[in-house]
Structure formats: structure tokens, C-alpha cells
Amino acid sequence: MSASTTDFQLTSGYDFVKTFTDTAFRAINALPPETARAVALYGSRFLKRTRVVDAARINQNLWSLLFSNPIGLAAGFDKNATAIDSLAKIGFGFIEIGSITKRRRRGNRDSPRLFRLREDMALINRLGLPNDGLESVERRLRRYFNKTNKSSSVKLDKIRPVLGANIAPDPSSLHDTALCSEELVDCFTALQPIVDYITLNVSCPNVEYKLRDFYTVNRVAKMIDGMRKVEPGRRRVALLLKISPDLMPSEYLGFADFAKDGGCDGLIVGNTTHSREPTLRSSEKNQQGGLSGKPLAGTVDDILRDIYKHTEGKVTLIGCGGVFSARDAIQKILNGASLVQMYTGLAYLGPKLIDQMRFDFSTLLRQQKLESIGQAVGRAID
């Protein structure tokens, strides 16, 4: 079907996965999950650039950045900035690299560390923040940023996706608050000139020290204050905070107030969860680690709704968890998100899903007689 088809039929993620016949993707999905991710990153270099041009109604300007569409790749897929060029071809409105720590980390030693829950359209991971470390990732990001910012005059269909970097405390430094903050400031200082936004991730559940125990508004405020002190005279970037879906309402509303008062520029809701719904069917459901995918959708929608209502829509939100189709994404936008991120949906349904969602977004907005994504944000809130 072409972008001009007026009676384009919406397809659910489940219908799409049944009809997806790409041999390479099927072969990759038959591999062990962690191996599949590595092969997918390598194989992404052979992807063709999308020919779809985003309709104006799904463009947005947030934090003085142009998002050609609201679909983003969540941190965790390209941890080390090894596949940005390739991933930029397939239609994402924004891509988030990381998580990145000051020093290289191998992650948790136990293996396997990543599990598919196919019956539940979910993943469980206990990777433990493996990444190549700030120096290596910064070098790759700088190369990409310099290459894609040579011209200040670009057409919308040629523009690169908005680029974000997700930074996290090194778990081995959490015993020393001052050292932890210093390392995060080092990450922020190095990455600030070469990305469009930075996310502070203090909600990863899969490390030796539980980041949630470290996770209070006061501590986060001190860390962010240290980052903001390096900004005067430098290029300013949006600074976001990624919060856990396992927080109690009083906790996530506390971070919402922090953001509303200018402590950060927005919130990503949320990370993986330790929670296990009794409806899970997969034999892997009791594996330790953080769960992502379809089972997380309702929880994330509830938190988005609560925060949007509590802050009267004055905090920019990104919904992350259970996005497998444009309908899933629109639901998060109606509940207060301006943007959405995906990871597990991409792992199950493959890169062609992104074009499908971009088509469907425009169709859904037309059906609702909405002129833009912005008009849909928070529309379901009483």
C-alpha cells in the first residue's frame, strides 16, 4: 500500500507479525535473545532507507527540536552507538542511545541474561547495564553528530532523527554519592555538545545495587544541579528523567512535581518492571530481571494519566512500555504522552513496523478529526 491510500486499513501488531515474512528477521528471531540482538544490530546496516515521508500532522516541536514523528527507539537496543546510521533509515522520529556509564561494564555475569516470553509479547532482561563506556560511545556519537550536522538547510524527509543519550550511575560507584554524581557530570559534559537531549536513568532494576534504593527526589536534584552547572556558555540540551513503573503514586508524583518546578525538562515513563501479573503465561515468567513489553502497557498508561492530571499537562511526557502498534502509541498520547518509545515491539515485529505505525498515525488522527499529534495529547483525561 502507498502513503496516498485513503482507505488504509489499520492492522494490529498481532496481525502484522502473522503476515511478516522477512526471512532474515525470522532467522534472527530464532536465535537466543541476546545473540539475536547482536545479530540484529550488525544486520541493520543492510536495511534500506524508508521512502515514507511523515505527514505534517504527526510532526512536533518539543524542547526546540523537530520530531518528524512521535515514535522513538528506547535506550537498551543500541547501547554503544554502533548502529545509529542504520537505525536512522527506518523511520524513527528519535533514537536514544545507552545506557552509558563512565566506565565500561560487562554487565551481570550470569547467562543467559535475556528471555523471550512469546505468549505474553514480553521480554525479561537482567543484563546489568553492559556498555562500552563513555569514551568509546562518545567517540561514535561525535562522529555521527558531526556528519549529520554539516548542513543547516535540510528537508524534513531528509532530516536525521532527534538523537538522545541515556546515562546511568555506575553501580560500583553507588556506595559513594559524591563519586556517583561526579561520574554522571562527566558523562553529561562529554555528551552535551553532540546529542539533542540527555536522559538520566536511575531506575534500572538489573544491577548489583538496587538503583531504586538510590532513587529519591533530593538525590536526583543534587545530581541534576551538578549537570546544570556546566551548561552556562555551552549548548543547552533537554535533560529528562527516566522513572520506574514500580514507584508508588506518591513517589512518581513527587518526580512529576520536581519536573513541573523546572528540575528537569520531562519524564520518561517508564523502565522495565519487577512486577509479574498473574495473567502471564510463558514458562519464563519467573525469571529474575526487568520485564518489558505488552504486560507493561496498562501500568504505564495509568502513570501517564496520573502525572498529566496532577501537573495539569505542564510536564512533557514520553510513554515507554507495551507499544506494538499505532493504536498502542495513540493510547499513551491520549493519556498525556507527547512521544512514545519502543524496544520489545521492535524485537518481536521487526523494522517494517515503524512505517506501518507512521501510516496508521495519520489515519487515526484523521478519523478523530485531529489536525496534529499535539491536539491528541491528554485528550482522554477528564
Q: Are 162 and 66 in contact (CB under 8 A)?
A: yes
Is 7 inside any structural domain? Answer: no
Is 6 inside any structural domain? Answer: no
- How does strand 122-125 pair with strand 290-293? antiparallel
Is 5 inside any structural domain? Answer: no
Is 221 inside any structural domain? Answer: yes
Low-confidence ranges of the chain (pLDDT < 50): 1-21, 152-157
The pLDDT value recorded for residue 126 is 92
Closest CA to 165 of 273, 82, 107, 80: 80
φ, ψ for residue 64, nearest 5 deg: 65, 25
- Looking up residue 243, the CATH number of its domain turns out to be 3.20.20.70
Secondary structure of residue 165 in the 3-state scheme: strand
Q: What is the residue range of 53's domain?
A: 13-376
Question: Total domain count for the chain?
Answer: 1
* pTM confidence score: 0.90
pLDDT in tens, 7-40: 233 444 434 333 333 666 677 777 777 777 777 7
What's the CA gap between 56 and 382, in Å, rounded? 28
The pLDDT value recorded for residue 111 is 86
Is 89 inside any structural domain? Answer: yes
The pLDDT value recorded for residue 239 is 97
pLDDT in tens, 185-239: 999 999 999 999 999 998 877 665 556 666 789 989 988 999 988 876 777 899 9
Is 8 inside any structural domain? Answer: no
Full DSSP string of 27-78: HHHTS-HHHHHHHHHHHGGGPPPP-----GGG-EEETTEEESSSEEEPTTSS
Return the H-helix or E-strand segment holding 259.
Answer: helix 249-260
